[in-house]
Amino acid sequence: MKKDFMQTAVIVSNDRIAKATYEMKLNCDASAITAPGQFINIDVPGFFLRRPISVCDAEDRSLTIIYKVVGKGTLAMSQMSAGEELNILTGLGNGFDPERAKDGALLVGGGCGVAPLYMLARKLVGKNKSVRVVLGFNTKDEVFLEQEFLDLNDVYEFGCEGFEGEKPEVKVTITTVDGSYGVKGFVTDAIAQIYGSAKKTNNEKTYEEGNAIDADDPIGTKGTAPHGMSEMKVPYYYACGPLPMLKALKKSVGNHGELSLEERMGCGFGACVGCSVKTTKGFKKVCADGPVFPAGEVLEET
């Protein structure tokens, strides 16, 4: 492990942004975060194991994480205040590859899996690529980052220096299981509505053949969704969230995308092999080989 992976971070703010969900901003060297989807491992005082948390955004000396209180460790984190210091391991894991999206992308998040997609969306918009974001929650009071994604529409002014072509657009759809906000149901329900109706009405951009990945690419299915949804075509997609959501998404829209797996971790950098999962290419460590994997490598029985 590189020494510069370990550092002291100072808490700038630690605010509740949704039900049991907190956003913590840290002042530290964020240069080791080179791809959206990477994570940091936090030494929470009084606890033996570090807490791995995905990076929501990172620039220069600013690093943002979003976490949910699910146990004693994250509860302790939620009670920390600005000015306190944390020992963190940063630059961990392999993230999403924005270059895989040709002209646009579909970003799908569930629960705290929404967090790393923000930095990815920002990177994609910075590359003049439009983004469709579908976020799934259980209920309205758990929703977060909706406005932040929409605000990315205002990042680049049309006609500014270095800007060519049509202005990239970010569209956001929220789903809730109980129907208290947005589309009632799951992310797959919203995706079927968006791209199914788009093919018939032409009101939404669909996945065109020109966006398809190479036929000999082992990841891909050229965007055609199998399992009874063969008429629906979607862009190259990126997803992070609970495993049942990822399985349902993969089954619905195919393998032309990337999945970020959530798994319990010990060390966070590949030494303890406690987060190993079986893939089409053998056992892989989620912390070191992932957490982002090509969708085609993720087994449905994982």
| pTM of the model as a whole | 0.84
**pLDDT (tens digit per residue) in 213-226:** 222 322 233 344 43
Per the CB < 8 A criterion, the answer to whether 170 and 133 are in contact is: yes
CATH number at 98-257: 3.40.50.80
Q: Mean pLDDT for the chain?
A: 82
What kind of architecture, by CATH, is found in domain 3-92? Beta Barrel (2.40)
HEC sequence for 202-255: CCCCCCCHHHCCCCCCCCCCCCECCCCCCCCECCEEEEECCHHHHHHHHHHHCC
* Domain assignments of the chain as residue spans, ordered by start: 3-92, 98-257
What is residue 225's predicted lDDT score, i.e. its pLDDT?
41
What is residue 287's predicted lDDT score, i.e. its pLDDT?
72
What is residue 61's predicted lDDT score, i.e. its pLDDT?
94
CA distance 64 to 286: 21
**pLDDT (tens digit per residue) in 111-131:** 999 999 999 999 999 999 999
Neighbours of 4 (CB within 10 A): 11
**pLDDT (tens digit per residue) in 52-109:** 999 999 999 999 999 999 999 999 999 999 999 999 999 999 999 999 998 799 999 9
What is residue 301's predicted lDDT score, i.e. its pLDDT?
63
Q: Residue 131 has which token pair?
A: 């983004």
Of the candidates 56, 61, 62, 175, the one whose C-alpha atom is nearest the C-alpha of residue 120 is 56
